[in-house]
Amino acid sequence: MIDGMDISRVELITFDCYGTLIDWETGMLRALRLLFPDHPHVSDEQFLAMYGEIEAQLEAGPYLSYRTVLSRTAQEMGRRLGASLSPEDYQQFAESLKQWPPFPDTVESLQALARHYRLGIISNTDDDLFAASHQLLKAPFAMIVTAQQVKSYKPSLNNFQEAMRRAGVPRENILHAAQSLYHDIAPANTLGLKNVWVNRRFGKQGPGATVSSDVKPMLEVRSLAELAAVLIPVAKINLAANSRE
């Protein structure tokens, strides 16, 4: 038991990708600064908040590919900022996602966790965009559920229900790990999925490029390395107990 959550039966860890495994704020801000070089007065937090608001509005409407969501978000940001940019500029921003980097602890932590658990992805993205990120993550994912596959975006329960259908294990044997309270922790709570908030923005003000939420996670860590440090000893204890049976 950790903070009242029984993790001894966890077999599958599903992850959000962008913001949890991929440092999307660093990658996003780098691309936005290139897109809007004449706006140095706009702070990083202002850029992120504007992005998060517009993206959430687009994702709440009729399904659009994530590449289109990225492009239209950048286009609306340009309109609000009074920037004159071309469709090619907005498309370039969308394609930049393929180069957004993993957090420094992501690859090593995923590889360590993969030695003890099955890993999965539930991500608001397109298949080909995630494929590029997957190469950077260098981790074996047994299951990948994208918004493109289910034609909806988290926090829709549809994305999580599809993941549970594919999981091959009972709901109580799944743990979902994510940075966004709004997109991930809230629906996980609704469905009774074990969950952990990977608080990548610890010490920063505001929700960054996501929507604000006051939902409570079952467990909070500040990095993937911390999550691995919590989970791997439990897996080793279970392995030792099973080997004695």
Q: DSSP characters for 79-132?
A: HHHT----HHHHHHHHHHGGGPPBPTTHHHHHHHHHTTSEEEEEESS-HHHHHH
Confidence class for position 2, pLDDT limits 50, 70, 90? confident
Question: Does the pLDDT of residue 196 top 80, yes or no?
Answer: yes
Mean pLDDT of 109-138: 98
What are the beta bridge partners of residue 13? 119, 175
**Thinking of the domain 24-99, which architecture would CATH place it in?**
Orthogonal Bundle (1.10)
Nearest to 34 by CA among 80, 1, 64, 77: 77
Pair of tokens at residue 108: 């090593």
Mean pLDDT of 22-27: 97
Tell me the whole-structure pTM to 2 decimals.
Answer: 0.94
Mean pLDDT, the chain, rounded, equals 94
CATH class for the region spanning 12-23+101-244: alpha beta
Residue count of the chain:
245
Catalytic residues: 16
Question: Does the pLDDT of residue 240 top 60, yes or no?
Answer: no
Q: How many whole angstroms separate alpha carbon 101 and alpha carbon 199?
A: 17
Confidence class for position 5, pLDDT limits 50, 70, 90? confident
User: What letter would DSSP give residue 182?
Assistant: I
Q: Where are the domains of the chain?
A: 12-23+101-244, 24-99
Query: In this structure, are residues 213 and 181 in contact, taking their beta carbons and an 8 Å threshold?
Result: yes
Mean pLDDT of 210-217: 94
